[in-house]
Amino acid sequence: MKKLSSNFLIFIFTALTLSYFGQASAGTCTSITRTSFGANTVLTSAELNGQFDTVFNNSNAYDGGCITDGTIEAVALDATELQPVFNSIIGGCLVTRSSVSAIEISACSMSVNGNMVNKATTTTVSMGCGDCSAETASTDYYAYVKGDSDGSTLNAFLSTTAPDALGNNGTARVLAVLRNDASSNIYQYGIDQWKINSFVPTHYGWVDDGVVTITVAITDPTKGSSLYNDKMKWSRQGTNAIVHINYAQVNTTGGAAGLGNYIFDLPDGITWKAGTDFQTTVISTVDTYGGIYAYMYDAGAGNFMYGEGHVVPFDADSFTIYINTGTMSAGTDPTGFQIGSNVFRLDEATSIRGAFVVPVDAFQ
């Protein structure tokens, strides 16, 4: 057998190397070995074919999972196949109110105008920013991320221009819609987040509204001095507010009935939806909301009364309570919270507890 020169052997193994890295397809990751030949070694066809077969077979089975380190350039990505990544991903960018004139965008990842954005810190956008629409009272504003945002840079602005069906305004992507009230203050609980192709109302936890406020048209009642519960709270659930009232005075000390039908204030920032049927003169069962449970004990007469009632809208900011099922141990069954005989009032040991739905136009 003829001896082969060292230059020829270098050529052979250079070809083997190029063949190994020039093939790629799905397969498994396998380590291979080779025989090391010394200078002027006689190389048989069987040995040569065996080496080639080893490289050829394993290069065909080579998998990208075998690559332990490397970089894929953005220009190498298939822009057609990866359009959902470039233009459609949006998530984690929660918009909340940071003050009466500014919003805060949470740390988030999203895509905008073909750029991927990953902001690890919050972003504050104030009314009157350079790209923002002029501030106007009682106006809807849309929070956008600008199309030049990229990487860790998130540029945002507020605009009165609504997005299209896909959430775009030119190259900008919408995050949420918010509203300025009549005093040009941003509603705290009125921010709806963009999701897919619509604005989704945020469901908030319970908001403490403080004590129950009760008035009448003539003389206001007075709460007793010994209160067990005195709390009004609410929670936003979609386009409605769920209001919970919990009041109880354990005795008559300090309590006064007042004069007239009792009117209860809604929580601050909540008003009945336009078109609601208000009942200002006659307590009625028309358009009643929720269930209220009431109990009163008349210590002087030794009578007690209890009932199940509903909330009746009185005006945009308040309501009355109609007792549709009432029972009294003596006398006429109660019908509501008002002055007079056989009714619930604050000059006796009284409790009011329940929850009801308030349809609203906007949340403050």
CATH code (residue 101):
2.80.20.10
Residue 349 is assigned to a structural domain of this protein: yes
For residue 83, report the phi and psi dihedrals to the nearest 5 degrees.
-60, -40
Q: What pLDDT was estimated at residue 98? A: 92
Gap between the Cα atoms of 146 and 58, Å rounded: 48
* 137 and 236 fall within a common domain: no
Averaged over 307-333, what is the pLDDT?
85
* 157 and 236 fall within a common domain: no
Indicate whether 196 pLDDT > 80: no
Q: What pLDDT was estimated at residue 126? A: 95
* 270 and 345 fall within a common domain: yes
CB–CB of 114/74 below 8 Å?
Answer: no
* 222 and 318 fall within a common domain: yes
Choosing from 147, 182, 201, the residue where a domain stops is 201
Query: Taking Cα atoms as reference points, which of 203, 318, 233, 321 lies closest to residue 271?
Result: 318
* 351 and 212 fall within a common domain: yes
Tokens of 35: 């025989």
Choosing from 142, 170, 201, the residue where a domain stops is 201
Angle at 99 between CA 97 and CA 104, to 5 degrees: 40
pLDDT, one tens digit per residue, over 285-302 is 666 677 888 888 877 677
Tokens of 313: 């809208």
Indicate whether 91 pLDDT > 60: no
- Domain around 171: 83-201
Q: What pLDDT was estimated at residue 214? A: 93
Gap between the Cα atoms of 200 and 177, Å rounded: 9
Gap between the Cα atoms of 174 and 195, Å rounded: 10
Query: Taking Cα atoms as reference points, which of 200, 266, 186 lies closest to residue 239?
Result: 200
Residue 76 is assigned to a structural domain of this protein: no
Choosing from 201, 235, 253, the residue where a domain stops is 201
* 258 and 178 fall within a common domain: no
What percentage of the chain carries pLDDT values higher than 90?
29
Gap between the Cα atoms of 250 and 244, Å rounded: 20
Gap between the Cα atoms of 73 and 317, Å rounded: 60
Q: In total, how many domains does the chain have?
A: 3
Residue 143 is assigned to a structural domain of this protein: yes
pLDDT, one tens digit per residue, over 130-140 is 899 999 998 99
Q: What pLDDT was estimated at residue 318? A: 93
Tokens of 137: 């009272």
Residue 301 is assigned to a structural domain of this protein: yes
Q: What pLDDT was estimated at residue 76? A: 63
* 92 and 55 fall within a common domain: no
